[in-house]
Amino acid sequence: MGEEGYSGETSYGVPLQRISEYMWRIPESYKPGMNVPGLVLADEKLLEKMRSDRTLIQCANVATLPGIYKYSITLPDGHEGYGFPIGGVGAFDVETGVVSPGGVGYDINCGVRLVKTNLTVKDVKPVLKQLAITLFRNVPSGLGSRRKDFRVTSRDLDALMVEGAGWVVRQGLGWDEDLEYCEEGGGIDGADPSKVSNTARSRGEPQIGTLGSGNHFLEIDVVDRIENPNVAKVFGIEYEGQIMVLIHTGSRGLGHQICSDYLKVMERAMHKYGIHTPDRELACVPASSREGEDYVKAMKCGINYAFANRQAIMHWVRESFSSVFKVSPEDLDMHLIYDVAHNIAKLEEHVVDNEGTKRKVYVHRKGATRAFPAGRPEIPAKYRNVGQPVLLPGSMADSSWVLVGTPKSMELTFGSTAHGAGRLLSRAKAKERWRGEAIKREMERQGIVVEAASLSVLSEEASGAYKPCDLVAEVSHMVGIATKVARLVPIAVVKG
């Protein structure tokens, strides 16, 4: 589950200088200690939501952290989070800068995986209810759910935290080629399970291979509109009406506990390093410190756990389609298009000033997606001539988007764009406003089949509680940090 923070405080007092139609600047003069300006990417409507909570205050607070370069960035899906805003990006010098769990988030490597098929909406409609029920049965979804035939030992968990999705593929749950189409090849180097607490391990061990609750979902989508046919074809998006599967989940209780553990470590250590922040939620330490290095090693365990989790779920999605259609996943062309992380801090090299100086930095992407352009070696060879696929999931009844990374993202946002719709209302407010039964009826009236572990999660995750994904994608496209490739709409949703 993602985090959310709704303190009741607003950002209306934060000064904004308009740079262009979709770009705004928070001047360094706004708050003592700001090392760089804030950069906010939004239209008027999205900006109003940011003003209504602490998003812009948090953007300015991040700008006070040691070693930050260029800007503290808030993306179009930005909303109040823990420490950093969700939809926030900051890049910190590897030697003089910091790492902060609040800049990654509780759900480490919450991310999205898009799987293609050769099915059309006409193929799927007659068996859609059966397919949704099969997915719900085969993929453990709710809080505390698990599969009886997929258990890991403590030793398995160690290997999984080091290897990521590759460990799951070695157990027979997937294809070797899947790893090529994951960010970091489905497993980031440098994970050290000894830096993960026993509490985190005990939470993570029974939850591997589970979707989880809250905003996590499994969705059968239809390609509604193709905006860039050339890039879409390279990605495997071939025609309107094509069926896709979107998987959205993260590192479950393991990642949450790693974040909690290291926030406490850093709160205690900050005084030792002479670091003072305007918000205790911004607990951080030098990236080069022992505590900083320990957090990065533990965080990487959470990253790899999440990659492994989505890999196992994708395997069961393939099995579910195969059982309903009586055809192998290979014959259904169920290849992975891409798996991209949302909550992550990564060591990357970026230009950090107007003189073209390159530095190694820890890019904190919290509720943000990497959006690298064509030519980057990190991108799968198949996509290298066009750019990285960027996946923006919408809310339950809303559209989702496939975008493509651009050179502009490297210039403006350290190779990043938004991660999805972004919340408008807290879960508590959403439950007050909507009833789960009514949400389910309305979705079914729209032709969307819903399978959920509880009706309450439907009210918490109602589309009205989120920003329109179309709007977030439009701002990203118009600013140029990731541009539109294809719009997807849901026809079946499985919720934890």
**Best-predicted range by mean pLDDT among 175-184, 416-425, 460-469?**
175-184
DSSP letter at 85?
Answer: P
Alpha carbon 70 to its chain's center? 23
What's the pLDDT band for 196 if we cut at 50, 70, 90?
very high
> Rg (Cα) of the chain, in Å, rounded?
21
pLDDT at 110: 96
Assess contact for 221 and 243: CB atoms under 8 A. yes
Assess contact for 484 and 235: CB atoms under 8 A. no
Show the beta-strand stretches assigned E in 394-471: 400-405, 416-418, 449-452
Give 197-234 pLDDT, tens digit per residue: 999 999 999 999 999 877 788 999 999 999 999 999 99
pLDDT exceeds cutoff 60 at 444: yes
Alpha carbon 275 to its chain's center? 29
User: How far apart are alpha carbons 307 and 90 in whole angstroms?
Assistant: 23
pLDDT exceeds cutoff 60 at 2: no
**pTM of the shown model:** 0.96
pLDDT at 464: 75
CA separation, residue 182 to residues 238, 310, 311, 453 (Å): 21, 10, 10, 28
pLDDT at 143: 61
The SS3 assignment for 7 reads coil
pLDDT exceeds cutoff 50 at 1: no
Assess contact for 174 and 168: CB atoms under 8 A. yes
Nearest residue to 465 (alpha-carbon basis) of 425, 421, 433: 425
What is the mean predicted confidence (pLDDT) over 332-357?
97
What's the pLDDT band for 424 if we cut at 50, 70, 90?
low
User: How far apart are alpha carbons 172 and 13 in whole angstroms?
Assistant: 55
Q: 293-312 burial, b if ≥16 CB within 10 A, otherwise e?
A: bbbbbbbbbbbbbbbbbbbb
What's the pLDDT band for 190 if we cut at 50, 70, 90?
very high
Mean of the per-residue pLDDT values of the chain: 94
Positions annotated as catalytic residues are: 419
- Weakest mean pLDDT among 20-29, 251-260, 440-449, 473-482: 440-449
Neighbours of 144 (CB within 10 A): 12
Nearest residue to 112 (alpha-carbon basis) of 384, 418, 405: 418
pLDDT exceeds cutoff 90 at 141: no
The SS3 assignment for 271 reads coil
Matching residue, tokens 């709710």: 142
pLDDT exceeds cutoff 50 at 156: yes
Q: Which conformational region is residue 56 in: left (phi greater than 0), alpha (psi within -120 to 50 degrees), or beta?
A: alpha
pLDDT at 459: 77
Give percent helix, percent strand, percent coil of the chain, each to the nearest 5: 40, 25, 40
Domains of the chain are: 1-496 (3.90.1860.10)
Among residues of the chain, what percentage have pLDDT more than 70? Answer: 97
pLDDT exceeds cutoff 90 at 242: yes
Q: Mind giving me the DSSP string for 135-191?
A: HHHHS--STT---TT----HHHHHHHHHHTHHHHHHTTSS-GGGGGGBGGGG--TT-
pLDDT exceeds cutoff 60 at 57: yes
Give 256-311 pLDDT, tens digit per residue: 999 999 999 999 999 999 999 999 999 999 999 999 999 999 999 999 999 999 99
